[in-house]
Chain A
Amino acid sequence: MNLLESLQVAVDSLIANKMRSFLTMLGIIIGVTAVLVVVAIGQGLKTEVISRIERLGTNLLVIIPGYGRGRGPTTRPGRLTDDDFTALRGKVPYVKAMAPTLRSSAQVKYHNLKHSTQVIGTTTDWVITDNATLTHGRFFTKSEERARANVVVLGAAVVEELFYGRPLVGEQIRINNIPFRVIGLLKEKGGGFGNPDDQVVIPLSTARYRLFGSRYLTTINVSTISPDKAEVVTESIKRVLRRQHRLGSGEDDFRIMSQTELLSTIGEQTAIITLFLGAIAAVSLLVGGVGIMNIMLVSVAERTREIGIRKAVGAKRRDILAQFLIESAVLSAVGGIIGIFLGVAIAAIGPRLGYQTSVPLQTIIIAFVFAAAVGIFFGYYPARRAALLDPIECLRYE
């Protein structure tokens, strides 16, 4: 008995019981659809987070002070200084730009509106390291930096809070009660470390001498000339800072965070979550498989006489096995295909509901193969039972 004929026999019998075949397939359809939708949302989420981070610049390294073991028995907090910055600037290769920052939270005020935000004191290179763009006005200049000018560039969230989104360049606001003139507005970034839109940027000298009075730095931001140089640059930074701080290896009192590291961490995490949710969805596929097994057992019992007839006229065990196995495989494969169409269709409406979705081709293939495998796995037991039936018993069966 060839495959084409077996297929014909299987399809005929499925068509003869349309409603039952459909209900049996429903389990597989729902399972495959669920898997695809979950994976689509998971992948979409990942793509979105990654693209947000990429907008911040993947070649950004941020050096922050850490707690290192010093020369005594106690640990002491590390410090980053202007000297560190100067040393790094001269010695680290593959650097596009480097900007020191001094950060602190402060209250900004415009007329009666108050808002707590992050103040970043930095240099003009920050625009390059942090990949910032302005929608209105301009960034401060080197001469303003030298002059410790009271000028400020506002992040998008702050503009929303103080100006209700209006681009009021030239207005005066107060930071910790000291008046500043708004000279520029930053473009919205969305996502990343903390909220990069809820911040205001002022010259480092102004922050240091007029606002916070600290001689240390909160971070040193380094942007490399390309993302693949991040590792070399990181190693180089470590060498320079260890020498600066007179540390042995393993005594580092600083940490270097890279966006690529963050990217891969986020990638891994969303992959785990997607896998987990996908596994839950796959359980429903398994339940669908049990449905197939159930209905195939009923079908075998119902067609006992047919099996007897086929055996009497010369069907071998493997012919009967193939017939029922193909039937369950066709059920699950057709269910799988319908599920794929449904899943892709639902994923396609996702963006309209505000969810970024994407269905990778390999997920579609895996879902289909898995569905077909479920059909064959759960169809095997009933098919084998049919194959082993005694033809005499079958022919006597009413």
Chain B
Amino acid sequence: MASLSVEETAVQSDALIVTRELTKVYAMGDVQVHALRSVSLTIRSGEYVAIMGPSGSGKSTLMNLLGCLDTPTSGAYYLLGEDVSTLNDNQLSEVRNRRIGFVFQTYNLLPRATALHNVQLPLLYAHRVSRAEARRRALDALQQVGLSDRAEHRPRELSGGQQQRVAIARALINNPDIILADEPTGNLDTQSGAEILALFDRLNELGHTVILVTHDHSVAARCKRVVQLLDGRVVSDELNNASDDRR
């Protein structure tokens, strides 16, 4: 069990995510809420990281920042060496489109669109992807999650586990640098949850960087690294021996 210092890993060439003193303060009326206090974190390409903590610990805030859905109040965030904390709204959209695949607790699929169209959605906002190409890639992604036969189904015709797999296919389609999953098994029964987690395991084995936000220890146990947050601070950042043993 080795603790990694930020300074050590920041210089490594395969550092995918480097945050320095990342701070987020919300103004709730007159009260200032410090959701995140000086979080410095380095995540290398190919890592499988769980971000844990009780509610209110800043997990969601950290995930929103890492996912470029939000910008920090202070501090810097380097994604593949590029400082994304100063980008404008349009540039952030582009980064999300190219580099990040989101998986949400509530799946967040478009209810009226078929699985195929849902998976294609990111390509709609990407540059120069023809319709035929988009369709081919979407079918490909659906195959990766084992849902080739459900391409023309709408979300309400699919089980929760299947919907989440569609969401994962959507996250994969643009071949992102990071897959960010926020409580991906929170709404699922144990069986489907296990399948989804197995899917993340496999994606990580294929080389994808996966970051899971969870409060479930059994979920975190599968990851190779666990970052614990409390009151907006990183309180522990450990490599997970259990997961090494499993392999």
Interface residues of A (CB under 8 A from B): 1, 5, 12-13, 16, 305-306, 308-319, 391-392, 395
Contact = CB atoms under 8 A, between A and B. Distances in A.
Contact of B108 (A12, A308, A315, A318): A308
A331 B98 CA distance: 33
B4 interface: no
A8 to B, nearest CB: 10
Contacts of B97: 313-314
Contacts of A5: 124
Contact of B93 (A12, A16, A316, A392): A316
Contact of A391 (B69, B98, B109): B69
Contacts of B109: 309
A312 B102 contact: yes
Interface of B: 64, 67, 69-70, 89-90, 93-94, 96-98, 102, 104, 108-110, 112, 121-122, 124-126, 170, 174
A314 B70 contact: no
B70 A395 contact: no
Given A12-B112, A391-B69, A317 B89 contact: yes
B69 A312 contact: yes
Contacts of B174: 314
Nearest to A315: B125
B89 A313 contact: no
A304 to B, nearest CB: 12
A317 B121 contact: no
B96 A313 contact: yes
Contact of B125 (A13, A306, A308, A319): A319
Nearest to B91: A316
A12 B114 CA distance: 12
B122 A16 contact: no
Contact of A16 (B98, B102, B112): B112
Given A319-B125, A391-B69, A312 B112 contact: no
Nearest to A306: B110
A315 to B, nearest CB: 5
A314 B96 contact: yes
A392 B110 contact: no
11 contacts: A1-B124, A1-B125, A16-B112, A308-B108, A311-B96, A312-B96, A312-B102, A313-B102, A313-B122, A315-B93, A392-B70
Contacts of B98: 314
A317 B94 CA distance: 11
Contact of A313 (B64, B70, B112, B121): B121
A361 to B, nearest CB: 37
